[in-house]
Copies of this chain bind each other. A is one copy, B any other.
């Protein structure tokens, strides 16, 4: 009874597939980066491991300057790792469905887990999403091209345009210039922002929005109402971006080392850009080492919340934040159930939200603790910032990563892996199929973590 066909064993444990897949990818990525074709200068195995993990987990933290240390081939290899990492969930789902073709229960469960509603054509969705994401990245690269050619010439410029589109959409912004992306034109910064937002919005949501727009503009009809999940994700995203940018601008407006010397439009653009990327992308236009403590704390808060579930973004996710606020509101109003967007939340959603917050607070706390031990001479706030950035796979840095000790770098590797794979695993964790009675009560499960 215990002997079964191996692939089916894996199918029944998508989390194992995910862990094995990501570990394998990171190891292959590290070996690739260590090959003489990929790098020019010396590259230690710790730095290569950190870089590969950072790419696969779509973070953007690096202890070396990617533009200097990697050859053009190495940079393309890095972009490939980001692309596969960003699409990991889709790739996993594809493998899951392909392998589980004969296992109908497994297949139905996989669809449920991905938030695909019953009756949707999954292979069609996968095809559409892949086309859509590649299309978005190509359009982004085309928009970035003139500016990149202006800065780096034709050949390098074309490579940089593609690379930046992949990095922005994958929410893994590795700095190619010492001053981050500050030398780009405002139009290019806006393109990067758009790519970051689209990459962090979640694939299923993206697909829903695209079909909605097709109905509205091509067919001229009134599109169907957006799903609850999508509306909540967009609301939280919008609120965080506006409030975050306003607070950021207010805190840094007159500080000489950051926004102070800029003209007003540039101040606003930089505030908006930094707030957008803080939510997960890791590009910098300003030196984070010069930010005031409250600004760093604000950015840490934005990183902690992160983007939408099922996206390239990290953090506890917008929907988890919405669940936390809804539960708090319900308790303060002395209600017996948690309601969000008119639906009753099942216990399993609350359980997963509790788990996500507990693990996030524990991981960041222990990670910061470990960094304080391994790199005792660094500022505690900077170490906490780095730990949050790694665990939420945000990739922002107060210029600390290159100066960390070897064990400090390994702490970051562990945090990035936990932050990306841990939360994807929770997304795949079992949710009981809603019973007819539950449907009657308009109960609604929300994707958290």
Task: Scan residues 349-401 of chain A and give those whose CB is less than 8 A from a CB of chain B.
Answer: 350-355, 357-359, 361, 365, 368-369, 372-373, 376, 379-381, 383
A325 beta carbon closer than 8 Å to chain B: yes
Partner of A297, one of B292, B365, B426: B365
Asked whether, in the complex, the Cβ of A361 is within 8 Å of the Cβ of B361, the reply is: yes
Partner of A354, one of B297, B334, B354, B359: B354
Asked whether, in the complex, the Cβ of B338 is within 8 Å of the Cβ of A373, the reply is: no
Main secondary structure of the interface of A (DSSP, over half): helix
Asked whether, in the complex, the Cβ of B369 is within 8 Å of the Cβ of A297, the reply is: yes
A324 beta carbon closer than 8 Å to chain B: yes
Instruction: Please indicate the chain B residues that have their CB under 8 angstroms from the CB of A351 in the complex.
Output: 327, 330-331, 338, 350
- Which residue of B has the minimal Cβ distance to A321? B358
A347-B347, A347-B350, A351-B338 given as contacts; is B358 within 8 A of A292 (CB)? no
- Which residue of B has the minimal Cβ distance to A385? B380
Instruction: Please indicate the chain B residues that have their CB under 8 angstroms from the CB of A373 in the complex.
Output: 294
0/1 string, A405-449, CB within 8 A of B gives 1 = 000000000000000000000100110100000000000000000
A408 nearest CB across to chain B (Å): 13
- Which residue of B has the minimal Cβ distance to A357? B357
A347-B347, A351-B350 given as contacts; is B297 within 8 A of A359 (CB)? no
Q: State the oligomeric state as a number of copies.
A: 2
A104 beta carbon closer than 8 Å to chain B: no
Instruction: Please indicate the chain B residues that have their CB under 8 angstroms from the CB of A376 in the complex.
Output: 292-294
0/1 string, A272-284, CB within 8 A of B gives 1 = 0000000000000
Size class of A's contact patch?
A: 35 or more
Asked whether, in the complex, the Cβ of B331 is within 8 Å of the Cβ of A355, the reply is: yes
A337 beta carbon closer than 8 Å to chain B: yes
A301 beta carbon closer than 8 Å to chain B: yes
Asked whether, in the complex, the Cβ of A348 is within 8 Å of the Cβ of B336, the reply is: yes
Task: Scan residues 319-336 of chain A and give those whose CB is less than 8 A from a CB of chain B.
Answer: 323-325, 327-328, 330-332, 334, 336
Q: Complex formed: what's the CA distance from A325 to B355 in Å?
A: 8
**Residue contacts A-B, CB under 8 angstroms, 14 given:** A296-B380, A297-B369, A297-B372, A323-B354, A324-B354, A327-B358, A330-B351, A331-B352, A334-B429, A350-B351, A350-B354, A379-B380, A380-B381, A381-B381
